Amino acid sequence: MKNTVEENIEHPKLSLIKVIARVVLITLGALLMAVGLEVFLVPNYVVDGGITGISIMLAHLSGLRLGVFLFLLNLPFVYLGYKQIGKTFAISTTYGITMLSFFTVILHHAEAFTDDVLLATVFGGMLIGIGVGIVIRSGGALDGTEILAILISKKAPLSVGNIVMFFNFFILGTAGFVFTWDRAMYSLLTYYIASKAIDAVVEGFEQTKSVWIISDFSKEIADSINARLGRGVTFLQGTGAYSGDDKRVIFVVINRIEESKLTRIVQYWDPDAFLAIGDIAEVRGGQFKKKDIH
């Protein structure tokens, strides 16, 4: 019974509509990344980080198509992803990488959109970041570097982010030898822009925040939050470790637009209240809905 439950969690059944939506989104993400590469970066000799950057340099040195290296170099990481993350992730990633390789081949002879290196860097990085972000949100990946970083982080006292940055330091540095050092600096800018675009897509443009409030006026604050912001509030029971006093802790989820109004509510009722606000990558379930603030 336990194995069945674990299998259902690992490989949940998706409806046909959800499968189609996932395929469409992964296809769109792969297309956006391919446009960013073949129409903006590659014609201007600018690279991105990870396996993509290695593939661009190998394609330049060998004269072979970029799509060939994108597909072949990522295959081992797809296998690792299947072993460590699951079948659904592996299938989504394989499809995404296949479509990315296909689109780069199709767009190989497309005319560069601009020969201004800075514009190509900015817009190419944005397109790559948006494309990768869409695929990640859809349960797949377009570059195997992070999969490898996850595996290494389990064996070494380093975070995934630090390992990815370590790899990209050498990859982007190598671009200086393959192309020129100014192109390597542009490549670093591309990587930064792409990473920020990925964060924006994966975490959402409307940043969600969790709020914890401890106050002797918890009832009044909770009522005001509900009335003024329309947000549901949860009371949690807490006990001060030093004082031993029982306290009601308010927990509520808001968006960043509502943060200042909530702060004013808390300050009005209790200027000495304990208030902690943190970012949340995603909210599902419950009665949390995006609301317009007037």
Per-residue pLDDT of the chain (294 residues; tens, 9 = 90+): 444 434 443 455 667 888 899 999 999 999 999 999 999 999 999 998 889 999 999 999 998 899 999 999 998 888 887 776 678 888 888 999 999 999 999 998 888 888 899 999 999 999 999 998 898 888 888 888 877 776 776 677 766 557 777 888 888 888 889 888 999 999 999 988 988 888 788 766 556 789 999 998 999 999 998 888 888 888 888 777 666 677 889 999 887 767 888 888 999 999 999 999 888 766 666 655 544 433
Domain boundaries, the chain: 2-203, 208-280
Q: Where are the alpha helices (DSSP H) in the chain?
A: 2-10, 16-35, 50-62, 66-84, 87-106, 117-137, 145-155, 160-178, 181-203, 218-229, 259-269
208-280 has which CATH code? 3.30.70.120
Q: What are phi and psi of 180, to 5 degrees?
A: -135, 165
pTM over 0.85: no
Sign of the dihedral defined by the CA atoms of residues 147, 151, 156, 158, in that order: positive
Strand partners, 252: 211
Query: What is the Cα–Cα distance from 170 to 172, expressed in whole angstroms?
Result: 6
Burial of residue 23, with CB atoms counted within 10 A of its CB: 0-12 exposed, 13-18 middle, 19 or more buried: middle
